[in-house]
Structure 1
């Protein structure tokens, strides 16, 4: 009686090990592609169920994930804080010696002013009104008065002159970083010397005028416009074009300097002569104006002649 019962139990074991039907749940699902929806139907919803990314896209995602790394973010924040601290220190040091508000005044320009100013610098003979206008004892900004000096044109002209000098030296197979650096430093030193001489002359002669240091830098920097014109003509038309452009730009700049400084240095000749009883100060003022104008062609020739051969 026991044997048949054991045989029945033995025959029942294979039945419990039968293969699972297709309706049984799948334990491991391939998630490398799009996960199928219910009833084995794939529904594509914009922004959600899109085809899996390729290997290149996965590599780009890995690179993008580098920027989300906590260490990378910490380094970026630390670098930004150092940059901000350095900027604050520089602004603080500049504010000690230079008034930022005054400096902003000389860069308050627009396109209309720049075009009109360049025309006056190259063709000053047609300009009639040279008086600088004031509002409540304060001069109008350059964008409001074309006769007001600015630092935007001298700065951009200086940069353009350096780039043009590098191109001219490259055309002549004489370019090197040392030569270009020497050219830039020489041009900057000449402006500094000219401004210092003007300030010293006005101080020693006790000449009271409306000229500030920024005004002198602006008037001295306008020569770079004529220097650019001279070098371009020399590169295009040769030595003959260079000397013709040199003569034109020199005469135009001298006329511009005399008419501009006349409104700053020479407006109170009669009052000085009456107050002092002499005519020496008016004569010295006139000498300073003329000497400043005559000095411009010399500097232009000195800084441009070696660029054109």
Structure 2
């Protein structure tokens, strides 16, 4: 259930447009047509122990063939897939009890073209110019009609891919166990809950008015899994050097993406708070929230991936 924000909603003029002619605005189930994200993911574990694979030198990468031929890695991937599917079913069942499915369906209204463009935007956001979310009759356009709209399809698929790659990495390093992979999944979910809750609490305590919903925050928080997949995959293939290069790139790209996206939701609503006591402090609070959210992303990425690559 979306948590309400106190205060008036932002009065910033919204860019209005309509969906392409002949195409229903939203709620056609096209999520199954989106490409599955593969070959990317990772995990943190200050909780795992055990020696690295025999003969593995410090910073040595894992060969490409070993990623797919190691029996332990394959077993770990299969187990990770089972956990991910069970978790997906449980989450869908629980969500349907408390949330309107039409509202949730909006965040999964994607197609193949949107997914490819969004993945490119997440990894190469620097050339993107227009970050404003589009509206049609005061209703935001669904993701497949607006590249800037947040979605939950990419974060959910990226999270599943992250678990699969984490299981593969642990299997290659002879450290896999169901308990460790379960701890990997629960740790990642707990960090997301903490991040979203901290963001909602900050907006509430500072009485910052925005158009952000709980699902929006979950989507923006979940986009980090795309960079995490890229980071761990590079670490497995190219060793510690590849890991840190990929970590730096994905962290910078994600921070830029978060700042530009949240800026349109938080920093641009100044007109609604331009009057009243303490109004001069509101822009500074908004800037603090936006920057803190962006800076927090690389910390989580490193925490959830560093122990997967040895």
Q: Shared fold by TM > 0.5?
A: yes
What is the Cα deviation at residue 281 of structure 1? 1.4
Per-residue CA deviations over 1:121-177 (Å, capped at 9, x if unaligned) read 000001111010000000000000000000000000000000000000011110110
Distance 2:145 2:234 in 1: 32
Contact 2:209 2:269 in 1 (8 A): no
Give the helix-richer structure, 1 or 2: 1
What is the Cα deviation at residue 94 of structure 1? 4.0
What is the Cα deviation at residue 278 of structure 1? 3.1
Distance 2:153 2:95 in 1: 18
Q: Which has the higher mean CA deviation after the structures are superposed, 188-197 or 276-285? A: 276-285
Distance 2:196 2:95 in 1: 19
Contact 1:234 1:308 in 2 (8 A): yes
- CA-based RMSD: 1.5
Specify the alignment match of 1:149 in structure 2.
Answer: 150
Specify the alignment match of 1:202 in structure 2.
Answer: 203
1:1-309 alignment, distance < 5 Å: 94-276=95-277, 278-309=279-310
The runs of at least 4 consecutive aligned structure 1 residues that moved more than 2 Å come to: 93-96, 273-278
Specify the alignment match of 1:60 in structure 2.
Answer: none
Contact 2:162 2:228 in 1 (8 A): yes
Structure 1 regions of 5+ residues with no counterpart? 1-86
Per-residue CA deviations over 1:252-306 (Å, capped at 9, x if unaligned) read 0000000000000111224413344531111111100000000000000000000
1:94–1:218 CA distance, 2 compared to 1 (3 A): closer
Structure 2 regions of 5+ residues with no counterpart? 1-88
Distance 1:291 1:270 in 2: 23
Larger radius of gyration: 1
1:94–1:222 CA distance, 2 compared to 1 (3 A): closer
Q: Which has the higher mean CA deviation after the structures are superposed, 95-104 or 140-149? A: 95-104
Higher relative CO (CA 8 A, sep ≥ 6), structure 1 or 2? 2
TM-score (norm 1): 0.69
Aligned length: 220
What is the Cα deviation at residue 119 of structure 1? 0.3
TM-score (norm 2): 0.69
